């Protein structure tokens, strides 16, 4: 590390924060204390529980669905579940002592304001020290979350000493200094960020996890959907509403394509029912998206319609459902802001045929566990990381993009007393 | 499509003569004709109507609000034409900063002719039939390269035929040629010169320059026409009223007329009326739509502006949804001495950044200059 250079490099420290715009040298960021920590310590679990309460009691954050979901995810009951899973992990491997990975450098994505907390919280829980770089385009939710973290740090020296939340404009030298410092690097933020930062060298002993750009969709059984009660159809619409409209449909796991599996003759009836149920849900919630979303959807769909045989209905409010007649015309382009494509296929195996490496979440309705497991198997190495019920697309899990994040944030030290040869 | 009876009706009347109801009736009829015309002659347009507006039933509408429309940015990504390539006499392109896509508008002789005829009628309404000395608040190199397609060049070239003895008041480095200008004004004294420039250039390189130099001109018989959006002046917190007041103080120009138009609908421009609102002529009209639901809004409510023009025959641009936000302020008002609707532009629709996960290290937006 070039110490002299690092001293001149500066970042905006957001938590722990001394002021609105606290500027610090990279060198001082890197001089965090080296106190050893144990994974899933009581103190760390309690800290996350306190953060959960702070978020859920905060008037501003309570109005933001993503923050509420984060607040629930951090609550003690959920953290205890993770701790129990960790205990089972220890029991399953009696020859292993789990220790923290050490120093983790997180680069958080710009599209989901709460994401940096999930990535950090798991790593923190595992006992690591963390540098978390958040997007420079901070909005109120992000700043509010950082404010709460800062506040908690004032009462919690361990939290304050071992964690730095900061931002800086793209600067190779700064990213390089943090990369060199780290023993594990996590790059969120899609293809561009990953290819931009992946080339920066890590310590030869360090590991890395990267999250490229993703495409997510849904599979729905036409027969099951038509057989569903009004109550079920309404619940499903509510689930789709959350999956689609949170984060303006720009999260990695937000669905952009609805694949209707079943008979072609029944498709129109099913799609009509669906579009109406979603419109009803939008009305019930009095939802009004960003003013530019409608024109954004129009621009997308008019361009698409120049090339692909589709049908669309501009009378739809706050969303635009495009019906595609032929799977061959399918392009996995992302519009966002309430645009999705309906596509009918005869059987679930056809879904596997469109699978790609970048596929992430499939939300589902109307299939059996056996069918879904078979689909996962068929898609195999080619793609898809999660198959979860409609409404849970955005629910963060410690297994993400097919990786065990807790496992990433830990190091496994083998300790064996007796020789195997004996 | 040779000039039919409906367009002839419009061309026969003077630009602000018809009351709104009567004008709407003729314009709606013309829009139906144009919609069918493009549906029959432009494959892409036909596909769009079939796929998005329900096919041929979209050709039959009673109210102008029910006419199909295209988002204006489609001309940036698609080549839309309703005539043979051989019939195209001129292709207009929109402004656009480097790297941005530009609109491409294909004109045949007929549409170009219609545009000129209506533009002449609108200009003459405000400036009289006599051609007057014309001062461009820009430098001459902007138009020297005739292939140059900048909006500034297009604006000046479009304006040239309406004046005489053109004089460019700026040097190539955008400095004001005060001596040259004073000499020109001396020569043309008493002939009511027309000044023309883009709003922010008028402000930055004429008004502020005169103020800085401590010069004060007196041109009570001059008219200043300006166009090009308020975004840059808004950033400087300059209101239209202040723009006019400071122009009057620095240059002594009392008659200042803003106009709103776009390369996608040349000819049917919206000039400022005596109440300082943008007045629709009989050749075009606007519909204001809710930004979210796209439903038509009544006067007084702000929304996206759809522009409907009677002129475009060679390209399907007769009904376009813009990304400008505006509000209808009145109609057929005797105080203006003009018939038809008038409105105000509130600005370009603010784009919510639909942040993909890949913009983590997105560069911050440049500050307005």
Q: Are residues B294 and B255 in the same domain?
A: no
Tens digit of each residue's pLDDT (9 = 90 or more) over B264-287:
998 899 999 999 999 999 999 999
User: In chain A, which residue's Cα lies nearest the Cα of B348?
Assistant: A292
Predicted pLDDT at A235: 97
Mean pLDDT, to the nearest integer, of B259-263? Answer: 91
Predicted pLDDT at A3: 45
Instruction: Kindly list the strands in the beta sheet with A215-221, ordered across the sheet, starting from the edge strand earlier in the chain.
Output: A310-312, A320-324, A339-345, A255-261, A215-221, A359-365, A386-389
Q: How far is A335 from chain B (nearest CA, A)?
A: 9
- Domain membership of residue B198 (yes or no) is yes
- Neighbour count for residue A227 (Cβ, 10 Å): 10
Residue A170 has pLDDT above 50, yes or no: yes
Predicted pLDDT at A23: 85
- Nearest by CB to residue B358, choosing from A189, A289, A336, is A189
On whether the CB atoms of residues A34 and A100 are closer than 8 A, the answer is no
Predicted pLDDT at A24: 85
Residue A34 has pLDDT above 70, yes or no: yes
Residue A418 has pLDDT above 60, yes or no: yes
Quickly list DSSP for A103-159.
EEEEE--SS-TTHHHHHHHHHHHTT-EEEEEPPSS--HHHHHHHHHHHHHHHH-HHH
Q: Which two tokens stand for residue A6?
A: 């690092």
Q: Which residues in chain A have Cβ-Cβ distances shorter than 8 Å to B65?
A: none
Q: Which two tokens stand for residue A284?
A: 């019930």
On whether the CB atoms of residues B275 and B295 are closer than 8 A, the answer is no
Residue A58 has pLDDT above 90, yes or no: yes
User: In chain A, which residue's Cα lies nearest the Cα of B79?
Assistant: A306
Predicted pLDDT at B178: 93
**CATH number of the domain where residue B292 is located:** 2.30.38.10
Mean pLDDT, to the nearest integer, of B33-47? Answer: 97
Helices A140-155, A42-57: crossing angle, 10 deg rounding: 140
Q: Average per-residue pLDDT in chain B?
A: 90
Q: How far is A313 from chain B (nearest CA, A)?
A: 6
- Domain membership of residue B358 (yes or no) is no
Environment class of residue A363 by beta-carbon count within 10 Å: exposed (0-12), middle (13-18) or buried (19+)?
Answer: buried
pLDDT tier, A2 (very low <50, low <70, confident <90, very high otherwise): very low
Select the more confidently predicted residue: B254 or A2: B254
* Integer Cα distance of B145 and B147 in angstroms: 5
Residue B368 has pLDDT above 50, yes or no: no
Tens digit of each residue's pLDDT (9 = 90 or more) over A335-379:
999 999 999 999 999 999 888 889 999 999 999 999 999 999 998
Residue B320 has pLDDT above 80, yes or no: yes
Mean pLDDT, to the nearest integer, of B257-267? Answer: 92
* Integer Cα distance of B208 and B212 in angstroms: 6
pLDDT tier, A21 (very low <50, low <70, confident <90, very high otherwise): low
- Contact at CB, B352 and A293, closer than 8 angstroms: yes
Residue B1 has pLDDT above 70, yes or no: no
Q: Percent helix, strand and coil across chain B, each rounded to 5?
A: 40, 20, 40
pLDDT tier, B367 (very low <50, low <70, confident <90, very high otherwise): very low
Q: Which residues in chain A have Cβ-Cβ distances shorter than 8 Å to B320?
A: none
Tens digit of each residue's pLDDT (9 = 90 or more) over B82-138:
999 999 998 888 765 555 788 899 999 999 999 999 999 999 999 999 999 999 999
- Domain membership of residue B91 (yes or no) is no
pLDDT tier, A20 (very low <50, low <70, confident <90, very high otherwise): low
User: In chain A, which residue's Cα lies nearest the Cα of B78?
Assistant: A303
B275 touches chain A (CB under 8 A): no
Q: How far is B353 from chain A (nearest CA, A)?
A: 9
pLDDT tier, A5 (very low <50, low <70, confident <90, very high otherwise): low
Predicted pLDDT at B133: 96
User: In chain A, which residue's Cα lies nearest the Cα of B50?
Assistant: A311
pLDDT tier, B366 (very low <50, low <70, confident <90, very high otherwise): very low
Supply the range of the domain harboring residue B298: 5-83+99-106+284-348
User: In chain B, which residue's Cα lies nearest the Cα of A108?
Assistant: B360
Q: Are residues B167 and B244 in the same domain?
A: yes
Environment class of residue A226 by beta-carbon count within 10 Å: exposed (0-12), middle (13-18) or buried (19+)?
Answer: middle
- Domain membership of residue B199 (yes or no) is yes
Predicted pLDDT at A228: 97
Q: Which residues in chain A have Cβ-Cβ distances shorter than 8 Å to B101?
A: none
Predicted pLDDT at A312: 95
Q: Are residues B72 and B139 in the same domain?
A: no
Domains and CATH numbers, chain A: 3-212+402-414 (3.40.605.10), 215-399 (3.40.309.10)
Q: Please, which residues 26-85 of chain B have a Cβ atom closer than 8 Å to chain A?
A: 44, 47-48, 51-53, 70-71, 73-74, 77-78
* Of A3-12, A41-50, A130-139, A188-197, minimum mean pLDDT range: A3-12
* Of A25-29, A268-272, B132-136, B140-144, minimum mean pLDDT range: B140-144
pLDDT tier, B146 (very low <50, low <70, confident <90, very high otherwise): low
User: In chain B, which residue's Cα lies nearest the Cα of A309?
Assistant: B51
Predicted pLDDT at A28: 86
Q: Give the end of a domain, one of B225, B242, B259.
A: B259
**What are the beta bridge partners of residue B107?**
B90
Residue A116 has pLDDT above 50, yes or no: yes
- Contact at CB, B360 and A193, closer than 8 angstroms: yes
Residue B258 has pLDDT above 60, yes or no: yes
Find all residues with CB under 8 Å of A295, minimum gap 6, and list them.
B71, B291, B304, B321, B323, B349
Q: Are residues B153 and B33 in the same domain?
A: no
Q: Which residues in chain B have Cβ-Cβ distances shorter than 8 Å to A250?
A: 354-357
Q: Which residues in chain A have Cβ-Cβ distances shorter than 8 Å to B71?
A: 295, 298-299, 302
Predicted pLDDT at B3: 53
Residue A421 has pLDDT above 70, yes or no: yes
pLDDT tier, B363 (very low <50, low <70, confident <90, very high otherwise): very low
pLDDT tier, B232 (very low <50, low <70, confident <90, very high otherwise): confident
- Contact at CB, B358 and A303, closer than 8 angstroms: no
- Contact at CB, A190 and B323, closer than 8 angstroms: no
B365 touches chain A (CB under 8 A): no
Distances (CA, A) of A408 to A107, A123, A203: 15, 9, 16
Tens digit of each residue's pLDDT (9 = 90 or more) over A179-207:
999 999 999 988 888 999 999 999 999 99
Q: How far is B53 from chain A (nearest CA, A)?
A: 7
Q: How many domains does chain B fold into?
A: 2
Residue B361 has pLDDT above 60, yes or no: no
Predicted pLDDT at A19: 64
* Of A255-259, B145-149, B249-253, minimum mean pLDDT range: B145-149
Q: How far is B360 from chain A (nearest CA, A)?
A: 5
- Domain membership of residue B215 (yes or no) is yes
Q: Are residues B293 and B246 in the same domain?
A: no
- Neighbour count for residue B112 (Cβ, 10 Å): 19
B208 touches chain A (CB under 8 A): no
DSSP code for A222: H
- Domain membership of residue B308 (yes or no) is yes
- Domain membership of residue B178 (yes or no) is yes
Q: Are residues B290 and B254 in the same domain?
A: no
* Integer Cα distance of A263 and B89 in angstroms: 52
pLDDT tier, A148 (very low <50, low <70, confident <90, very high otherwise): very high
B352 touches chain A (CB under 8 A): yes
| Enclosing H/E stretch for A241 | helix A230-245
Q: How far is B276 from chain A (nearest CA, A)?
A: 27
Predicted pLDDT at B234: 84
A&B contacts, CB < 8 Å: 139
**CATH number of the domain where residue B155 is located:** 3.40.50
Question: Which long-range contacts link A85-92 to residues 24+ away (Cβ below 8 Å)?
Answer: A85/A398, A85/A406, A86/A39, A86/A40, A86/A406, A89/A406
- Contact at CB, B358 and A252, closer than 8 angstroms: no
Q: Are residues B298 and B253 in the same domain?
A: no
Q: Are residues B136 and B248 in the same domain?
A: yes
Predicted pLDDT at A400: 87
Q: What angle do CA B96, B98, B102 make, to 5 degrees?
A: 35
Q: How far is B356 from chain A (nearest CA, A)?
A: 6
Q: Which residues in chain B have Cβ-Cβ distances shorter than 8 Å to A249?
A: 354
Predicted pLDDT at A307: 92
- Nearest by CB to residue B362, choosing from A110, A303, A309, is A110
pLDDT tier, A135 (very low <50, low <70, confident <90, very high otherwise): confident
- Contact at CB, A137 and B48, closer than 8 angstroms: no
On whether the CB atoms of residues A105 and A22 are closer than 8 A, the answer is no
Residues B294, B297, B302, B306: is their CA dihedral positive or negative?
A: positive
Mean pLDDT, to the nearest integer, of A227-249? Answer: 95
Q: Which residues in chain B have Cβ-Cβ distances shorter than 8 Å to A193?
A: 357-358, 360-361
* Integer Cα distance of A141 and A143 in angstroms: 6
- Nearest by CB to residue B48, choosing from A191, A196, A302, is A302
- Domain membership of residue B273 (yes or no) is no
Select the more confidently predicted residue: A418 or B18: B18
Select the more confidently predicted residue: B74 or A33: B74
């Amino acid at each position: 590390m070039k110490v002299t250079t690092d001293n001149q490099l500066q970042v905006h420290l957001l938590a722990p924060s001394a002021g609105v715009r606290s500027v610090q040298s990279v060198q001082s960021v890197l001089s965090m204390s080296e106190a050893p920590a144990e994974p899933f310590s009581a103190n760390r679990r309690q800290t996350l529980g306190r953060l959960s309460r702070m978020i859920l009691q905060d008037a501003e954050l309570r109005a933001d669905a993503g923050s509420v979901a984060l607040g629930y995810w951090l609550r003690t009951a959920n953290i205890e579940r993770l701790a129990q899973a960790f205990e089972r992990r220890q029991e399953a491997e009696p020859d292993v002592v789990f220790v923290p990975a050490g120093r983790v450098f997180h680069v958080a994505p710009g599209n989901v304001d709460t994401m940096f907390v999930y990535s950090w919280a798991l790593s923190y829980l595992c006992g690591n020290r963390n540098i978390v770089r958040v997007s420079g385009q901070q909005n109120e939710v992000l700043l509010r979350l950082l404010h709460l973290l800062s506040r908690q740090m004032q009462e919690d020296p361990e939290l304050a000493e071992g964690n730095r939340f900061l931002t800086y404009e793209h600067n190779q030298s700064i990213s390089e200094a943090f990369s060199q410092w780290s023993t594990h690097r996590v790059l969120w933020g899609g293809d561009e960020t990953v290819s931009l930062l992946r080339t920066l060298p890590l310590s030869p002993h360090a590991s890395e996890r990267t999250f490229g750009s993703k495409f997510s969709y849904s599979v729905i059984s036409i027969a099951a959907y038509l057989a569903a009660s009004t109550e079920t159809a309404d619940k499903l619409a509510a689930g789709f509403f959350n999956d689609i409209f949170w984060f303006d449909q720009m999260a990695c796991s937000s669905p952009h394509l609805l694949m209707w599996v079943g008979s072609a003759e029944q498709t129109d009836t099913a799609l009509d029912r669906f579009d109406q149920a979603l419109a009803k849900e939008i009305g019930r919630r009095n939802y009004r998206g960003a003013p530019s979303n409608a024109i954004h959807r129009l621009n997308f769909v008019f361009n698409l319609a120049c090339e692909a045989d589709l049908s669309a209905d501009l009378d739809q409010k706050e969303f635009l459902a495009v019906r595609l007649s032929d799977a061959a015309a399918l392009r996995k382009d992302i519009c966002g802001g309430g645009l999705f494509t309906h596509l009918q296929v005869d059987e679930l195996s056809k879904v596997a045929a469109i699978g790609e490496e970048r596929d992430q979440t499939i939300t589902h309705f109307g299939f059996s566990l056996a069918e879904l497991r078979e689909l996962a198997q068929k898609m195999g190495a080619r793609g898809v990381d999660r198959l979860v019920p409609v409404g849970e697309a955005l629910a963060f899990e410690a297994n993400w993009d097919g990786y065990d994040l807790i496992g990433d944030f830990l190091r496994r030290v083998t300790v064996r007393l007796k020789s195997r040869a004996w | 499509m040779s000039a039919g009876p409906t367009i002839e009706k419009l061309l026969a009347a003077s630009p602000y003569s018809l009351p709104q109801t009567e004008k709407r009736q003729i314009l709606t009829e013309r829009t139906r004709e144009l919609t069918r015309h493009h549906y029959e002659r432009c494959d892409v347009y036909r596909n769009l109507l079939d796929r998005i507006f329900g096919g041929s039933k979209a050709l039959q509408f009673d109210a102008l609000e029910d006419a199909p429309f295209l988002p204006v940015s489609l001309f940036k990504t698609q080549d839309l034409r309703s005539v043979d390539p051989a019939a195209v006499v001129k292709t207009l392109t929109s402004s656009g900063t480097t790297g941005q896509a530009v609109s491409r508008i294909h004109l045949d002789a007929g549409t170009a002719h219609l545009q000129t005829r209506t533009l002449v009628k609108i200009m003459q309404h405000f400036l009289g039939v006599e051609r007057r000395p014309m001062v461009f608040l820009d430098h001459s190199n902007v138009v020297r390269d005739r292939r140059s397609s900048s909006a500034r060049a297009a604006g000046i070239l479009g304006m040239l035929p309406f004046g005489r003895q053109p004089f460019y008041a700026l040097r190539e480095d955008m400095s004001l040629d005060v001596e040259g200008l004073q000499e020109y004004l001396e020569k043309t004294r008493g002939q009511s010169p027309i000044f023309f420039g883009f709003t922010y250039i008028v402000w930055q390189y004429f008004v502020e320059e005169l103020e800085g130099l401590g010069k004060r001109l007196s041109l009570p018989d001059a008219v200043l026409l300006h166009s090009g959006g308020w975004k840059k002046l808004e950033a400087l917190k300059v209101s239209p009223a202040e723009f006019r007041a400071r122009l009057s103080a620095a240059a002594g120009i009392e008659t200042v007329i803003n106009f709103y138009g776009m390369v996608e609908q040349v000819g049917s421009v919206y000039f400022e009326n005596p109440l300082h609102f943008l007045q629709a002529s009989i050749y075009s009209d606007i519909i204001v739509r809710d930004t979210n639901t796209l439903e038509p809004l009544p006067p007084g409510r702000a929304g996206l502006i759809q522009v409907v023009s009677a002129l475009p025959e060679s390209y399907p641009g007769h009904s376009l949804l813009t990304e400008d936000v505006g509000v209808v302020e009145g109609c057929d008002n005797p105080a203006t001495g003009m018939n038809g609707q008038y409105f105000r532009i509130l600005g370009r629709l603010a784009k919510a950044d639909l942040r993909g996960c890949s913009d983590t290290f997105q560069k911050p937006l440049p500050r307005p200059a």
